[in-house]
Amino acid sequence: MMKKITHQKEESIMKRRNILLSTIMSSLILAMPAFAADYDIAINGGRVIDPETNFDAVANVGVKNGRIVKITNKQIKGNETIDAKGLVVAPGFIDTHFHFQKPIGYSLGLRDGLTSSMDFEMGCAGSYIDNWYKAREGVTGANYGCAVSHEFARAKVIDGSNGDYLKDGPIAALETRKKTGWSVTRPTLEQGNAILEEIDKGLQAGAVGIGSTVGYMREGVSSREMFEVQKVGARYGRATGAHTRYTLGTDTTEVNGAQELVSNALALNAPAIVLHFNNPGWRVTHEMITGLQAQGHNIWGEIYPYAAGSTPINASFLQPKSWVDDLGHRYEDTMLDPVTGKFYTLETYKSTVKSEPTRPIVVFKMPEEDQAKWLTLKGVTMASDATAAMPYDAAWDYPMEKLGGSHPRTAGARGATIRLGRDNNIPMMQLMSILSYNAAKHLGDTGLKFMQERGRIQQGKVADIVVFDPKLFKDNSTYEKGAIPSTGMKAVIVNGQVTVRDDALLPVFAGQPIRFEPEAKPRFEPISLEHWNNRFSTGMPDVTEAFPQSTGK
């Protein structure tokens, strides 16, 4: 009897041991993938595209500690896995003309594949550049950067605009443009030096370059002032981006405005960006840009794939003398209110300018058939010129269907690029170049280290990556409903962290600042009255002395 009890006891002990051992083994097996994974993220089986090296093949991409550490045909494991079979794996999209530098603006961009956003047109006031960057630390989904603003320097000096709204960067134009001194006033010498010094402050604080809206300031900005503005940037080796003089204009004046910016840059040995030149005369401007690139100059231009643009209704070039008399347009055919969906008349235009001078409108200006043509251009970037939708200060997860009217490029410029490319058989390599690599290359060549490490799918580069369906990724925003996000995006990775998964935004704020290291000393050099008024000596002999008039004898 004792032996039987002992035997049963031994069987029970063994059974308990086996159950315990089984439990331990099961736990180990469940934990093995985490220990066995070599990467934080494994992107498997996608069509990997790298525009810099022309790499285009099915491969697996391993991401660890925020960087791409492996591109291989062998199977890889990650703590997080993205099945990219049938999908494109490409550098995250870079936008150098993104005005909507607010949480909900970044969210719209991320849904559209945006990983790095900058504003090279409106920019931020120089005195507030440092605070602008600090306000976005740790709370921004996409990478963020800003140029220093020529316009806001003028608004600050001429109109007395203050920091209550200037600190908001590009959005500040909704307030500063309620006054007009910044646009129409020729500065005195003292004001001119103050404007240039304000721009220098921004570059000293690390701004990516200078943004100028000289096209809105035709009467107020002399050729001397524009040259001196670009000279401030040249001292730092940084690019000036400009909404060029005479835009919007004719196929002659538009090109003349681009030529002013570019010739200044060449004389100063400085980089320059011809902003949104997809306007009349674009073929000549593009030929000029590519010819200079072939000679080794760091000059480039932007396009966006829309026949219409957007601007505040009080823009000088929309006044009847310019828009109707000189350019031959009708408000009833060309000027749309994106909130009401109605076109303006001359009467409603005049009344709105008086009652709400900075109301955003959509302006139809080019043939629709040109949209796909712009996407085939070499040496350019796709930059959205994204404008704000109301409420512009909404939280990052604000319901996008509740946002007010806006130009569709804000939510869909990248989706529209892929859709038009698909419909017109434009090579994917070309589309990835204009959406990402070209901007990274040109800005990297100015010395901006941030961009030297992005815009590429290469081992060792920062993991800013998009994974999307080339057959399904598209824009959904329209002129009637401008804030509808794009769809077809499998994943958006910013600095090695997934921020969008299957078209859903995640509460991940991995964005990093795009800027130069701040400098201890300014490089600003005041100019003299003679210089400002173009009366300084050229070093040439007096004409009357060199070539005395004939006496007739």
Residues 222 and 189 sit within 8 Å (Cβ to Cβ): no
Q: Kindly state whether residue 341 falls inside one of the protein's structural domains.
A: no
281-315: string of b/e by CB count within 10 Å (b at 16+)? bbebbbebbbebbeeebbbbbbbbbbebbbbbbbb
343 pLDDT higher than 60: yes
Percent of the chain residues topping a pLDDT of 90: 83
The whole-number average pLDDT for the span 98-108 is 97
435-488, pLDDT tens digit by residue?
A: 999 999 999 999 999 999 999 999 999 999 999 999 999 999 999 899 999 999
Report if residue 283 sits inside a domain: yes
Question: Hey, what's the torsion of the CAs at 219, 224, 229, 231, to 10 degrees?
Answer: 160
Q: How do residues 408-440 score in pLDDT, each as one tens digit?
A: 999 999 999 999 999 999 999 999 999 999 999
DSSP lists the bridge partners of residue 43 as 61, 82
- 539 belongs to a structural domain: no
Average pLDDT score, the chain: 91
In a domain, 523, yes or no: no
Please report, to the nearest 10 degrees, the dihedral formed by the alpha carbons of residues 134, 136, 142, 145 taken in order: -50
pLDDT tens-digit readout, 346-393: 999 999 999 999 898 899 999 999 999 999 999 999 999 999 999 999
Distance, in Å, from the CA atom of 131 to the CA atom of 172, rounded to the nearest integer, reads: 14
Instruction: Name the helix (H) or strand (E) containing 408.
Output: none
| Number of domains within the chain | 1
Burial grade of 359 (CB within 10 A; 0-12, 13-18, 19 or more):
middle
In terms of residue numbers, what domain contains 484? 91-307+366-514
Give me Rg for the CA atoms of the chain: 28
Place of tokens 């050229």: 538
Rounded percentage of the chain residues whose pLDDT exceeds 70: 90
Kindly report the pTM of this predicted structure: 0.89
Q: Which residue has the higher pLDDT, 326 or 209?
A: 209
Residue 529 lies in a domain: no
Q: Residues 485-513: pLDDT tens digits?
A: 999 999 999 999 999 999 999 999 999 99
Residue 166, in any domain of the structure: yes
User: Which residues on neighbouring strands pair with residue 462, listed in sequence order?
Assistant: 67
Q: Cβ(513)–Cβ(145) under 8 Å?
A: yes
User: CATH number of the domain that 379 lies in?
Assistant: 3.20.20.140
Query: Residue 1 pLDDT > 90, yes or no?
Result: no
Domain assignment of residue 525, yes or no: no
In the chain, DSSP finds a helix count (H) and a strand count (E) of: 21, 21
Q: What is the mean pLDDT of residues 270-280?
A: 97
**How many CB atoms lie under 10 A from the CB of residue 141?**
26
Distance CA 295, CA 185 (A): 38
Query: Is the residue at 41 inside a domain?
Result: no
Is the pLDDT assigned to residue 317 strictly greater than 90?
Answer: no
31: confidence class by pLDDT, cuts 50, 70, 90:
very low
Asked whether the beta carbons of 107 and 130 are under 8 A apart, the reply is no
Place of tokens 């795009």: 514
Residue 311 CA to residue 335 CA, distance in Å, equals 10
